[in-house]
Amino acid sequence: MICQRCQNEASVHLTERVGGKRQELHLCAGCARKAGLVLPESAPDLGLESVVQSLIVQNVGELVGELAELACPDCGTRYMDYRTDGRLGCPQDYRVFSKGLLPSLQRFHGATRHVGKTARLRPAAVHRLRLRSQLREAVAREDYEAAARLRDQIRLKDTHA
Amino acid sequence: MTLDDLTRTSGEWLRGAGPESDIVMCSRIRLARNLADFPFTNRASRSEKAEIEAHFKSALEGAKIEAGYFDVNGMSNLDRQFLVERQLISRELSSGEGPRGVAVTPKENIAIMVNEEDHLRIQYMLSGFRLPQVWDEITALDDQLEDDIAYAYSSSLGYLTACPTNVGTGIRVGVMVHLPGLVANKQIDKVFRALQKINLAVRGFYGEGSQAFGDFYQISNQQTLGKSEEELIKILTDVVPQVLQYERSARQELVTGRRQHLHDQVSRAYGVLKTAQTISSEETMLLLSSVRMGINLGLIDDLSIATVNELFIQTQPAFLQKLRGSELGVEERNVARASYLRSRLGNGRPVEEG
Ligand SMILES: [Zn+2]
Ligand SMILES: [Zn+2]
């Protein structure tokens, strides 16, 4: 397979569904980088971090393809949406897209672990976001019994908030 | 508290008080925070944004902070612009959509934006160079709000934000500095390049992409992950004094090398501001900058830094229109600006050269 932008061997293969239509994209590493797909480019420094990073570089074709398929189950944001406008959709996206995000955090901040003030632990923290996405799904599959139950749960959380 | 009340007062951060206030107009810290159970603002529905706003309002009540809440949704363009000019909201919040607003304390040292890029953007400003004090105040405020709000937080990545460039501490530590000396001797770009090398950002008065404004610049951290809030504050408290030293020696050179020329420039600037019948915003900024430096160098002794600081804000278009109570075209604003300047500076006179 050759790159769709130049004549090099393609190493990045993307499949996306846009409005029900399947679109394929085959690019070489250089053109993929130019297209803004996440590819760690800084020289690896010391430590486990850099080993992981160079592994990612070696397997980058696979990784970008895999990331392109990812979407957050809670808010529906796709990894490619984030690559386009730089904004994540919900707190869960950090977990869902971690493979793609950690290398860019390392590049931007020079670190991937938080140091500093900690938020209070909330064992009883509500999970409204999850409930709402379950509600959306229940409505989509016309399971109105489940939808009604979820709606009650969300209301209960609201009155206790 | 109403918006009209704000036209009769001015923010604590303009007081011209505190350490190094001849060069450092104010110290500011901003914290980006999100509620755990909601999509980020760009993905939140109208009703979710309304819920977020309601949660915040009850947390604010619980925190017993005396603050007015301004509903930005449905506010006139002029009023939104007025809040931008006063540094109480960002352009992004002003031009956003759906339920959103800002809580402001009467001294304007606290401003908490709701449904900006992040659900909450907590801002604390004080005049002069006192970042550690600002941090003590803002972290206490953050704790109070947290009594009623579960923040989006992960033990490995810290506070989770809509844009990964803010994740971790979610903190932006900044100082607003007045650097006319470095502008005059053309060393300013060199200083900026040095700051950028150590990951500090330099922006205009009104933030990202805004123009330099009367030789005022904001210096702030870019990194938010992997260093504690105290470490990030320390970087600025270590580096800013060096910038101040460059600025002071640049000013000293101007004074010793070209004292007469400088005194002339400052006096003319003051004279124009006191007597002009019509004046543009750009010219006003330029002249106020000269006058501000003139006061610091002892070339003008009958005008306070606080007044000059206030005038930077109070000669902006929206303020003038709020004061008049009507919308004004560019020409009318230039006349209104000159008249306002004359009324504020009327009795002053430059120092006689000894
Ligand atoms: Zn190519
Ligand atoms: Zn999500």
Residue B254 lies inside a defined structural domain of this protein: no
Mutate one of B153, B171, B228 to test the A interface: name it (highest A CB count within 10 A): B153
Residues lower than pLDDT 50 in chain B: 348-354
Contact B42 A126 (CB under 8 A): no
| d(CA B61, nearest CA chain A) in Å | 14
At B141, is the secondary structure helix, strand, or coil?
Answer: helix
Check which CATH number belongs to the domain holding B199 and give it: 3.30.590.10
Which of A76, A105, A117 faces B229 most closely, judged by CB atoms? Answer: A117
Residues in A closer than 8 angstroms to B170, CB to CB, are none
Same domain, B219 and B270: no
Same domain, B219 and B263: no
Residue A153 lies inside a defined structural domain of this protein: yes
A85 pLDDT band, cuts 50/70/90, is confident
Residue A136 lies inside a defined structural domain of this protein: yes
Domain interval for residue B296: 259-350
Which of A76, A110, A128 faces B226 most closely, judged by CB atoms? Answer: A110
Same domain, B171 and B271: no
Residue of chain B nearest A97, judged by CA positions: B164
- How many whole angstroms separate alpha carbon A16 and alpha carbon A34? 18
Q: Is A142 exposed, middle or buried (0-12, 13-18, 19+ CB in 10 A)?
A: exposed
Q: Tell me, what's the pLDDT at B40?
A: 97
Same domain, B99 and B168: yes
- CA A30 to ligand 1 center in whole angstroms: 6
Q: Tell me, what's the pLDDT at B212?
A: 63
Nearest to A5 by CA among A45, A33, A41, A44: A33
> Do residues A149 and A130 touch, judged by C-beta distance below 8 A?
no
Same domain, A148 and A128: yes
Contact B38 A129 (CB under 8 A): yes
| d(CA B341, nearest CA chain A) in Å | 43
| One-letter amino acid of B68 | G
Question: A7-34 in b/e burial notation, b at 16+ Cβ within 10 A?
Answer: eeebbbbbeeeeeeeeeebbbbbebbbe
In this structure, what are the phi and psi dihedrals at residue B31, rounded to the nearest 5 degrees? -115, 130
Q: Tell me, what's the pLDDT at A44?
A: 37
pTM reported for the whole predicted model: 0.81
Nearest to B201 by CA among B170, B155, B229, B235: B235
Q: Estimate the share of chain A in helix, then strand, then coil, as percent rounded to the nearest 5.
A: 50, 10, 40
Which of B246, B278, B293 is the endpoint of a domain? B246
Report the number of secondary-structure helices (H) and strands (E) in chain B.
Answer: 12, 10
Residue A20 touches partner B, C-beta closer than 8 Å: no
> Do residues A52 and A46 touch, judged by C-beta distance below 8 A?
no
Same domain, B64 and B150: yes
Same domain, B221 and B264: no
> Do residues B181 and B293 touch, judged by C-beta distance below 8 A?
yes
Same domain, B276 and B184: no
Please check if B27 is assigned to a binding site.
Answer: yes
Nearest to B245 by CA among B308, B173, B305, B182: B182
Q: Is the ipTM reported for this complex over the cut 0.95? A: no
A41 pLDDT band, cuts 50/70/90, is very low
Strand B171-178 to B216-221 pairing: antiparallel
- What one-character DSSP code corresponds to residue B43? G
Contact B229 A127 (CB under 8 A): no
Q: Tell me, what's the pLDDT at A126?
A: 53
**Who wins on pLDDT, B276 or A150?**
B276
Residue B16 lies inside a defined structural domain of this protein: yes
Same domain, B158 and B237: yes
Same domain, A131 and A150: yes
Beta strands in chain B (DSSP E): 24-33, 68-71, 101-104, 110-114, 120-127, 153-154, 158-159, 171-178, 200-203, 216-221
Which of B196, B218, B246 is the endpoint of a domain? B246
Same domain, B62 and B162: yes
Residue B173 lies inside a defined structural domain of this protein: yes
Distances from the Cα of A35 to the Cα of A4, A88, B258, angstroms: 12, 19, 53
**Total of domains in chain B:** 2
Same domain, B237 and B263: no
Domain interval for residue A129: 123-160
**Total of domains in chain A:** 3
Residue A79 lies inside a defined structural domain of this protein: yes
DSSP B157-208: TEE--SSGGGTBT-EEEEEEEE-HHHHHTT-HHHHHHHHHHTTEEEEBTTBT
Which of A113, A120, A157 faces B146 most closely, judged by CB atoms? Answer: A120
Contact A90 B39 (CB under 8 A): yes
Question: Span A118-147, mean pLDDT?
Answer: 78
Same domain, A76 and A97: yes
Same domain, B178 and B305: no
Residue B253 lies inside a defined structural domain of this protein: no
Q: Is A149 exposed, middle or buried (0-12, 13-18, 19+ CB in 10 A)?
A: middle
Q: Tell me, what's the pLDDT at A14?
A: 67
Residue A102 lies inside a defined structural domain of this protein: yes
Question: Span A73-100, mean pLDDT?
Answer: 91
Same domain, A106 and A127: no
Residues in B closer than 8 angstroms to A114, CB to CB, are 154-159, 167-169, 225-226
Contact B165 A112 (CB under 8 A): no
Residue A46 lies inside a defined structural domain of this protein: no
Same domain, A131 and A104: no
- How many whole angstroms separate alpha carbon B235 and alpha carbon B224? 12
Q: Tell me, what's the pLDDT at B37?
A: 86
Residue of chain B nearest A78, judged by CA positions: B43
Q: Tell me, what's the pLDDT at A130?
A: 73
